[in-house]
Amino acid sequence: MNDLQPIALPGIDPRRPLVIAGPCSAETEEQVLDTARALAAEGIRIYRAGLWKPRTKPGGFEGVGTAGIPWMQRVKRETGMYTATEVATRDHVVAALKGGIDVLWIGARTAANPFAMQEIADALRGQDVPVLVKNPVSPDLELWIGAIERIHNAGIRRLAAIHRGFTSIDKSIYRNHPMWAIPIELHRRLPSLPIFCDPSHIGGKRELIAPLSQQAMDLGFDGLIVESHCSPDCAWSDKAQQVTPDVLAYIIRNLVIRDETITTESLNELRDKIDKLDDQLLELLARRMRVSRDIGQYKKEHNMPVLQAQRYEELLDKRARQAVQMGMDREFMRSVLQAIHEESVRQQMEVLG
Ligand code: PEP
Ligand code: MN
C-alpha cells in the first residue's frame, strides 16, 4: 500500500494533529449548526456528525439519516468547514456522496464485518473521497487490515485508520481498551497509512480525552477525531464522552507535539540507558530462574508437585495490581509474568527430570 495520498484537504494545515470534531450524532438542525459555528470559531476545519447511528440495542436514537444532509450542507456553506459522516451500507455511501459529504468513516461494528466492508468498497469504486476505517470492535489486527485493504482495492487512495479502542471483558477505566500495541503494529505493517485516534470512544468519559490525545501524539499519531457538542449533557448519544467546542480547543492548544525536541544525541543517551536496563533485567531473570531451580530441587526432595495453581493465581493478581499502581498495564504485566512462570516451570521440570 505505498500509493496512498495525504488525507489533508485543500486549505488545511498539514501539521499534526489533523483534527476532526463534532457531535456523535446530528440531532437537530440547530444543534448541528450551533456546534459547527462554535467549532469553526475555534479553528476546527473538519466537522463530524453521525447521520446513521449503529446502536448496540434497538429502540435508541438511530440517527436522523438523510434528513441531516441539508444541515451538513449548511455547515459547509456557512462555516467553510469540510464535513464527515459514518457510512455502513451502500445506500449510506450513495446518499453521503450525493449530498456532498467530504470525508467518510466506517464504524467499528461495520469494520468487523467483511460482507459490509465489501458492499461499501463496491459502492466507493470510481469515487475519490477520503475514507477513514475504524478498528473493528475486537482486537483483531488482520480484520482491521482486511477492511482497509477492501477500500484500497476499490481504488480509494486517500485512506486512513482510526484507533477507537477494543472491547475487553476486563474491567478498566476505559470504555474501549486502547491496546496501543495494535495500532503501533498497524503502523509497522502499513507505514504510509495515517492513523487517527478517537479518544472519545476509547475513554468513554470527557476527562480522558486530554490524556489519551496526548498519548496518541506521543506515539506519533497523525490526527484526532473527537466528539464535541454544544451542550454535551443534552446529547442524544454518547453524552459522557463529548466536550464543548471551547474545552476541545483548550485541550488541543495544550497538546505537546514532540517532533524535534529529542536530538539524536539525547536519543542515543536514552538508548544507552535502555540497553543497560535490559542487561540488568536479563541478569535478574537469570537469578530468578536459579531460585526456581532451587525450589525444584526442594520439591523433588519433598515429593511435591511443580505446579501450585493457587499460589500462582495469587501471585499474578497481586503483581498485576502492583503494576497498575506503577503506571503499567495490567494485561502487560500478566503476560510478562505468565511468560516468566512458564520458563520457571520448565526449569523446575529439568531439575526433576
Ligand atoms: C461514532 O463515531 O460515533 C461511533 C459510532 O463510533 P464507533 O464506530 O467507534 O463505535
Ligand atoms: Mn459516538
pLDDT digits over 204-254, tens only?
A: 999 999 999 999 999 999 999 999 999 999 999 999 999 999 999 999 999
> Tell me, what's the pLDDT at 101?
98
> Tell me, what's the pLDDT at 79?
98
| Cell numbers standing for residue 103 | 470525508
Q: How far is the CA of 351 from the centre of ligand 1 (A)?
A: 54
In order, the DSSP letters of 208-277 are GHHHHHHHHHHTT--EEEEEB-SSGGG-SS-GGG-B-HHHHHHHHHT----SSSS-HHHHHHHHHHHHHH
Of the ligands numbered here, which is closest to the C-alpha atom of 198? 1
The alpha carbon of 41 is separated from its chain's Cα centroid by a whole number of angstroms, namely 27
| Cell numbers standing for residue 246 | 471551547
Q: How far is the CA of 47 from the centre of ligand 2 (A)?
A: 14
Mutate to test the pocket of ligand 1, among 104, 201, 229 (most ligand atoms within 8 A of CB): 201
Q: How far is the CA of 9 from the centre of ligand 2 (A)?
A: 23
pLDDT at 261 exceeding the cut of 60 = no
pLDDT tens digits for range 285-328: 999 999 989 998 998 899 888 777 788 888 888 999 989 888 89
Q: How far is the CA of 250 from the centre of ligand 1 (A)?
A: 23
pLDDT at 260 exceeding the cut of 70 = no
The response to whether residue 69 sits with its C-beta less than 6 Å from ligand 1 reads: no
Measured by CA distance, the residue closest to atom 2 of ligand 1 is: 24
Q: What is the mean pLDDT of residues 110-136?
A: 98
In angstroms, the CA 1 to CA 73 distance is 33
In angstroms, the CA 287 to CA 290 distance is 5
> Tell me, what's the pLDDT at 269?
86
Considering the entire predicted model, what is its pTM?
A: 0.79
pLDDT tens digits for range 43-94: 999 999 999 999 888 988 999 999 999 999 999 999 999 999 999 999 999 9
- Given the CA of residue 105, which atom of ligand 1 is nearest to it? 2
> Tell me, what's the pLDDT at 69?
98
Nearest alpha carbon to residue 217 among 40, 58, 15: 15
